[in-house]
Structures are given as structure tokens and as C-alpha cells.
Structure 1
Amino acid sequence: MTGWHAPESLIARYADGSLPDSDAWSLEKHLESCAACAGRVSGAVRATAAGTVLAQVRGAVLDAAPPVRAKTPVRAKTPAPPVRTKTPVRAKTPAPPTRAKTPVRAKAPLHTPRLLWAAAPAVRGAWLPAVLLVALGAVLLAHVADFSGARPLLLAVAPVVPVAGVALSYGRHADPLHELAASTPSAGLRLVLTRTVLVLAVSLPLLTLAGVVLPASDAPGAAAWLLPGLTLTLAALALGGWLGLRAATAVTGGGWLCAVLAPALAAPDGAVSRQLSDQLSTYVGGAATQGGWAVAAAACAALLAARRTTYDRLDRH
């Protein structure tokens, strides 16, 4: 018995199935040691439509069960005769001391395999080759094809690469064991953030390094896309609570590409690279613009924290 008891509102939400999984698990753990709350929860569940159906099923099972026959009493066994005392065995000569075995290396902590299992879908499939293709493609365009717009093009595409990686790392389409993973206490936002961190850890260094080795141009610096990329990723996660993760990434990533590439593609022939550089200077260049992206990233992170419980039911079915 504990000193805390579940309030009626919590029990009512548990009975009608509207309580989030994490809160339901916490309540069920409390019921193991609190008979009073267990009785209240049982009564609340029986009062619902599901309780009526369960009562009918229980009654049908009891009616169909065959009667249990009484067992025949077992006769008492005759006491066994006393056992003779054995002759004492002589003590054996002590065995020579054995050599100490080489110490075995300590195994990896249990949380390491769990972390790798949770993060693995973030680097499986076609996403990781796609990141390498974007980075190497920009380098080859600049140094082999002598394309002067390689850096602006990379800076335009780089912010949506981690957004696409997040969309491709969570859900039934990405993880064959998604149903199993989604039913664990570590599912929901925690699992999404674990895979998002791995996506960022892979894509940010590769794309930034590719931007560093590209020839200088009028486009902003190689790291100018980092804050926009982080903001778009957080915005996709925040919108995922309303739209679903894949739809949210399509909205944020597609919106960025339309805003940056559409004016450049509409420019006259020969001025596409110049127009793209001007667009990027407007969207990611300068301290004031980068400060705006930082504020937007903080706002998206706050919104994601406020709506974290929506990920408890995200893509479960």
C-alpha cells in the first residue's frame, strides 16, 4: 500500500482508453501494490461497454468449463527403514593449486546494444548512400565538371538532407520491427530523437566538409546551412504531432526547396547560379539572419517539448 491514490479523472481516462501509454503503464504499476485503487479501476472498467463484453465472455467460459473432480485421497506411505550410517570416507589428498585464469574483459554495458538497436534504422537503407551522393556529387561537379554553382547548390540542398533522414528513419516503412519498438516504454518522442541525433551526427560533418573543399563563390560560408538545417528538422518534428512525421517533413523540406530554388530556376539563362547565390545570401547569410534561425529553432524545440505526448501514439497502427 502506498500513500498516493489515483484520482478519479485518471481512472476514468484509463477505463475509456484515452490515457497515454506511458501514464497507463505507471498506473498499472501502482495497482500492483494498492488494492484500493485496483478495486476502483476494476469497477470503472466494468462500467464501460468493454467491461460488459468481458463479463459475458467470462461467464461463457465458466459455463463451458467441465466440472473439476475431487481427487482420491492418497494413502499414507509406510515409513522407510532407518538407513545405516556409512563408513567415513578418508580425506583425499589436496589437489595441486591451479593457475589463475587470465581475467576476462568486461562485457559492454547492456544499454549499448539497446541504443544501437534503437538507432540502427537511421543509417539503414538508401538514406546514407544518398548523403554520400549529395556530398561527393557537389565535389565532383566543382572539381571535375568545373561547375561554378556547386557550392550554392549544395547549400540549397543540404538543409533538407537531415529532414529527409528523419522521415526515413521512423515508421513501418523504415523499421521491420516498428510494431515491437513502438510498444516499448522507450518509444514515442525518445525513439524519434535518438534516431534524429544519429541522422544529424552523420549528415552535418559530411555535408559541411564537402562545402569546405568546394571552390569559393559569392554564396555564404560552408557552415551557413547548419542552423537552417537544424531549424527545419525541429520544425518537422514539431509538426509531426499534427500531420504525421512523413507529411511534416514533406511540408518543411518542400517549402524550403520551393523558396530557394523556384526564383533561381525562373532566372534567365546563365544567371541561375547568380540568382541562387543571392537567394541563399538572403535566407542564410549575415548575423541577423542566423540569429533569426536560432530563435526559430528554440521556438520549435519549445513547441516540441510542449506536445511531446502526441508522439506516444504516433504511427502506432
Structure 2
Amino acid sequence: MTHARWHATDTLAARYADGTLPESEAWSLEKHLEHCTSCATRVSHAVRAGTAGAVLGEVREAVLREALLQEALFQELGSRSGVPGAGRFPRLARALWAAGPAVRGAWSLAVLVVALGAVALGYGAGVAGARPLLLALAPAVPVLGVALSYGPYADPVHEIAAASPSGGLRLLLTRTVAVLLVSLPLLTLAGLLLPGSGAPGAAAWLLPGLALTLASLALAGYVGSRAGAAVTCGGWLCAVLAPALTSPSDGAPLARLAEQLSAVLDGPLAQGTWAASAVLCAAALAARRAVYDRLP
């Protein structure tokens, strides 16, 4: 039966609104509502007329009231500061909110700790392989940041944000860019400050980091953002750490790690492969962009 051959009756809409409609019929009705404006309007009226309508109205009023209070607070802080351009403070606050929990929370501090810790190992503790260790961890850092920026487990208002017009893939990409803007400069600068000692260049991880981040986003469309990040980070760390730790050749583990990183990061072939991987993952994201409107 096609969607165009039937319409929801008032009785069907009422049963859907009060939750007495069987799950299979409710699913069929929901699919029909995606294509029928008149039935969607009928069901919307039925929901508003029922007990759920009062609850939804209260939630809506609470959200609007909180938004107005926050806007008033931002305007008041901007006007009291006396700083030129302070009127743009609400925009900055909204931008930070859109950036996601990872950038607003402890993740940015963790990235700074990783960067400073690598520099401390290189100069304070005299560890010659500090740069290889940093390069091994750096591509996984933005992947974890994206995983901590999107989803109901990370964002207390995820449902509201995801249901907004800027939700779905657009919101996910916004938060991904914010994570990259924090992690890329800090980790690359830390790599530049560390002695090379045979390791790849400090910027050699940038394309792999971008490719792995896009790969985790592409996997998220199938298994969710947490699982996608776990698979991506786990695969990368196994690829670079396992050969270095299990190699029977002579030499310290950090020296073997530098050799392994040179094999996967150095040279036009390696970098070209990472660039091609990034393009393929971006194409996969674009092809499945509708999936991210209901990303688990």
C-alpha cells in the first residue's frame, strides 16, 4: 500500500497521540507523515489536544524562558564590561555552545596537557623519542574529541540540538571543525619544539589525523559515534604501536616506533594515500548525510 492511497482518520490520530496504537501501525503512520502534510497536521492537533500536549507546552515554555534569561545575562555582562565590542559576547557564547562539550569542557585542557607533557618529556626528562610518541598519539586526539562532542552521552541537550534546523551532519561537522582548530595547532607546535631524531616531521600527522577523523565520522553513520571513534583509534594505535613493541629487531621501543611512523607517515606515497583516504571518507559522509539526522 502506497502512502498516497490512504490518510489518517481522527480516531487513528487520537490513538497515536495517547499511545494506544500498536507499534507496527504507529511506525506505518510515522512513515506516512513524512509525505503527507494534511495527516501530519491532523496528528499534531491530536497530540496537542491530549495529555502530551500540555507537557510539550510546558517544556517549550521552559526552554524559551531559559533562552531569554541567558540572552539577557549575556547582554547585561556585555553592557557592564565597558569593553569595545562586548556586544558581540552573545555571539561568542553561542559559538562556544555550538562548538560542543569537548571544546567547552576538559578535553581542551587534556590536549594542552598532552602537548606540554611531550615537551616536558623531550627537554625536562631528556627522552629522545618524545616526538615519535607524540606523533603516534596525535592522530587519535581529534577523533576522541569529536566522539566527546556529539551524542546524548556527551551533550545534555543533544536531543534539542539534533532536532534544530542546524542539527544532524551540519552540527557534527561544526563540532568537528572546532575540535580540529584546537588540537591541530597545539599538537603541531609541540612537535615543532621537540627534537626530530629520525622521526617524521612535526606536521606529518595532519593528513592522517584528518583522514582518521573523517573515517570515524563515516563509521558513525553505521555504528554510532563512540563505536566509530573506538574502532578508528584502536586500529591506528595497533598499526603503529604493535609493530614497534613486537619487532624482534634491536633497539629501544621508541626508536622502533620512529621507524614505524616513518613508514606510514613519511614520503609522497604515504601522504598521498592519507589524502585519498580523507577524500573517500568525505565522499562517504556526503553520500549518507541523511543518516546523521538520527545518529545514535
Q: Percent identity?
A: 60
The residue that corresponds to 2:271 in the other structure is: 290
Question: Hey, what's the Cα distance between the residues in 2 that align with 1:139 and 1:42?
Answer: 59
Question: Counterpart of 2:129 in structure 1: which amino acid?
Answer: G
Question: Hey, what's the Cα distance between the residues in 2 that align with 1:266 and 1:278?
Answer: 13
Contact kept? 1:241, 1:310, Cα under 8 Å: yes
Shift of 1:180: 1.7
The residue that corresponds to 1:312 in the other structure is: 293
- 1:1-317 equivalences under 5 Å are 8=4, 16-18=29-31, 24=34, 38-39=37-38, 41=39, 107-108=87-88, 113-267=93-247, 270-315=251-296
Contact kept? 1:168, 1:174, Cα under 8 Å: yes
**Change beyond 3 A, Cα 1:19–1:131:** farther
Contact kept? 1:151, 1:214, Cα under 8 Å: yes
Question: Hey, what's the Cα distance between the residues in 1 that align with 2:287 and 2:87?
Answer: 39
**Greater C-alpha radius of gyration:** 1
Could you tell me which runs of 5 or more consecutive residues in structure 2 were left unpaired when the two chains were aligned. 9-26, 51-83
User: Partner of 1:252: helix, strand, or coil?
Assistant: helix
User: Partner of 1:229: helix, strand, or coil?
Assistant: helix
The residue that corresponds to 1:3 in the other structure is: none
Shift of 1:218: 0.6
Give the TM-score, by structure 1 length: 0.68
**Change beyond 3 A, Cα 1:163–1:105:** closer
Question: Counterpart of 2:256 in structure 1: which amino acid?
Answer: Q
Question: Hey, what's the Cα distance between the residues in 1 that align with 2:85 and 2:243?
Answer: 60
Question: Hey, what's the Cα distance between the residues in 2 that align with 1:136 and 1:105?
Answer: 33
The residue that corresponds to 1:90 in the other structure is: none
Shift of 1:262: 0.8
Shift of 1:273: 1.7
Shift of 1:108: 3.3
Shift of 1:203: 0.2
Contact kept? 1:122, 1:196, Cα under 8 Å: no
Higher helix proportion: 2
Shift of 1:122: 3.0
Question: Hey, what's the Cα distance between the residues in 2 that align with 1:157 and 1:304?
Answer: 25
**Change beyond 3 A, Cα 1:112–1:126:** closer
Question: Hey, what's the Cα distance between the residues in 2 that align with 1:254 and 1:275?
Answer: 19
Contact kept? 1:167, 1:246, Cα under 8 Å: yes
Question: Counterpart of 2:273 in structure 1: which amino acid?
Answer: G
Question: Counterpart of 1:17 in structure 2: which amino acid?
Answer: E
Q: C-alpha offsets along residues 160-212 of structure 1, whole Å, 9 cap, x if unaligned?
A: 00000000111122212122212212111111111100000000000000000
Shift of 1:129: 1.8
**Change beyond 3 A, Cα 1:106–1:134:** closer
The residue that corresponds to 1:77 in the other structure is: none
Shift of 1:15: 6.2
Question: Hey, what's the Cα distance between the residues in 1 that align with 2:182 and 2:294?
Answer: 28
Contact kept? 2:97, 2:104, Cα under 8 Å: no
Question: Hey, what's the Cα distance between the residues in 2 that align with 1:8 and 1:109?
Answer: 50
Question: Hey, what's the Cα distance between the residues in 2 that align with 1:19 and 1:156?
Answer: 50
**Change beyond 3 A, Cα 1:42–1:267:** closer
Give the TM-score, by structure 2 length: 0.72
Q: C-alpha offsets along residues 41-96 of structure 1, whole Å, 9 cap, x if unaligned?
A: 469x89xxxxxxx69x99xxxxxxxxxxxxxxxxxxxxxxxxxxxxxxxxxxxxxx
**Change beyond 3 A, Cα 1:15–1:184:** farther
Shift of 1:246: 0.5
